[in-house]
Amino acid sequence: MMQGSSYRFDTLERGSDIEDRISELPNELICYIFTFLNLKEVIKTKALSHKWKDQSIDMSNLVFDPTLINIDLDDDVSLESIPLPQKYQFIEQVDQLLEIFNINQYASFTIWFPLGKQFTSHIDKWVNCAIGKECKKLDLELKFARIDDEPYNFPFHILLSSKKSHLKWLSLCECQVKPTWEVGHRLNLLESLTLVYVSMEASDLEIILSSCLNLEFLELIDCEVLTSLRIFNQDIRLKHLFVTPVVFVANIELSIPSLELFTFDGQIENFTISRMNQLKTVELYIEGTYPRGMGQLLDELSRNAPLLQTLFLTGYFDQFLSHAHNNNETPKFNNLTHLKLTPKGDYGWNVFIGILYKSPKLEVLVIEGYTPPIDGEPSWTNQQLVPTCISSSLKIVRFDEFKGQDFELDMIECILKYARVLEYMKVKVQISSRKAKKKIIKKIKAFPKSSSEAKVSFW
């Protein structure tokens, strides 16, 4: 049944004199044990006992991966260079296993193996089988397939040929996506869509999203050709959006009232949002220089995401950000409580100070990777100039790259002096000299603290 394996269902016939205690187990327990086994283990296990041999197995969550042909999942070197005979061996194993298991419905169906366009007929057959079995979760993880082949073209026509699609979760890796407008309505139940190393254009994504009004999770990772992303859909239920482009993204325009979390990691030329009234978490890791300026991006967020609570921002700041101190006319993050900032460029420290002024309810602050200020920062000897968040709400502070410079010491001294509800400050001192490091730590420990509960630690 399985090539290269000594396990056969007639094993018991040759060893009938062996007492079969496994058969004494109740059916419910046997079925429960099967749920913890992968497909290959199930085949081996069924050879252990008459009762296990004939047991009907509910394998509604099917995962076919390289372990079927004895390749470790983490062995990228082997996965990148699987010879053709082994690929056909994998195909044969999948076909045999699908025949063995009597399954009326698939809860999930996963193919994790480097198969490309030349194996289209086999993959199409499996996808057709999964759709026909009312599969709710379909995952084609064809990683490394394009090393020696063209990408597999996902068969949207199969969705059209079926009576109804039950798909709620679709994940594609190293595929090509070319949907038609006719297929849109067959994806109306989709709640989660993940596309990794998928070749597609903005128009292809528009077709997919046109009818996916129940979609809540969308992940786009290294999608080739996708250089623009525009989602203006007031009816879609999208809550989580993750975008990591493989190439430079010229434009991202979003108007998704239901969106709660947005993550972007890459280069971008223009970022525009509107009507993001539910957006609570934003993570932006912007490579290179943002042409419109980081100050403009911050204003865009503060004006159009009024409920924003968590902001992780990494970027190159080459423009001065007006502090305006606690001026009410300056756009603010009125609900921001958690800020992690990695400010690069000449004005990184300046922007850091500016965001503090814009965040009156900030509770958690993490700062790393900054450059010394090139312009004079406001003196906080006057308490009226201290950002509101420091004196009223700041509870946790972490400096990840503290080098002991004067402007850093001034900041720590100010926070300890004015932060009345501060609970914890952690400082990572990056000074090579042990003597100098001890001197800096001693100096910080001597700073007066407004909060009696504040604890300061170093590492």
Q: What is the DSSP string of 354-419?
A: HHHHH-TT--EEEE-S----SSPPPP-SSGGGS-HHHHHT--EEEEEEE---HHHHHHHHHHHHH-
pLDDT of 120 strictly over 90? yes
pLDDT given at position 169: 97
pLDDT of residue 332: 87
The mean pLDDT of the chain is 84
DSSP letter at 397? Answer: E
The pTM score is 0.84
Least confident of 69-78, 172-181, 321-330: 321-330
pLDDT tens track for 185-232: 788 899 999 999 998 888 999 988 888 889 999 999 998 778 889 998
Residues 424-451 have a mean pLDDT of 93
pLDDT of 17 reads 55
Residue 16 has pLDDT above 60, yes or no: no
* φ, ψ (nearest 5 deg) of residue 436: -65, -35
Q: Residue 352 and residue 319: Cα distance in Å, rounded? A: 12
pLDDT tens, 130-146? 999 999 999 999 988 77
Contacts of 43 (CB under 8 A, 6+ apart): 1, 2, 5, 7, 97, 100
User: What average pLDDT does the segment 100-114 reach?
Assistant: 86
The predicted pLDDT at position 41 comes to 66
Q: Give the residue, 330 or 80, on which the prediction is more confident.
A: 80
Give the pLDDT band (50/70/90) at residue 10: very low
How do residues 158-181 score in pLDDT, each as one tens digit? 988 777 789 999 999 999 999 988
SS3 365: strand
Rounded mean pLDDT of 414-427?
95
**What is the H or E stretch that residue 251 is in?**
strand 249-255
pLDDT of residue 58: 55
At residue 76, the pLDDT reads 82
So what's the pLDDT on residue 314? 92
Q: What is the pLDDT of residues 347-387, one digit of tens each?
A: 788 788 888 989 999 999 999 877 777 665 556 666 778 89
Write down the pLDDT at residue 18: 57
| Percent of all residues in the chain with a pLDDT value above 90, rounded to a whole number | 48
pLDDT at position 46: 58
Q: What is the pLDDT of residues 272-304, one digit of tens each?
A: 999 999 999 999 999 888 888 888 888 889 999
Judged against a pLDDT cut of 70, whether residue 321 lies above it is answered with no
pLDDT at 27: 66
pLDDT (average), residues 57-82: 83
Average pLDDT over residues 22-41: 65
Average pLDDT score over residue span 92-112: 87
pLDDT of the residue at 15 = 47
pLDDT (average), residues 327-353: 82
Among residues 411, 421, 393, the alpha carbon closest in space to that of 334 is found at 393
pLDDT at 348: 80
Q: Does the pLDDT at position 31 exceed 70?
A: no
Question: What would the mean pLDDT of 246-262 be, rounded to a whole number?
Answer: 89
Q: What is the DSSP letter of 156?
A: H
Confidence (pLDDT) at 13: 45
- 172 contacts 195 by C-beta, under 8 angstroms: yes
Q: Is the pLDDT of residue 452 over 90?
A: yes
What DSSP state is assigned to residue 224? B
Phi then psi for 444, rounded to 5 degrees?
-65, -40
Q: What angle do CA 373, 374, 377 make, to 5 degrees?
A: 55
Is residue 407 within 8 A of residue 414, CB to CB? The reply is no
Res 23: pLDDT: 67
| Of 216, 210, 232, residue with least CA distance to 170 | 216
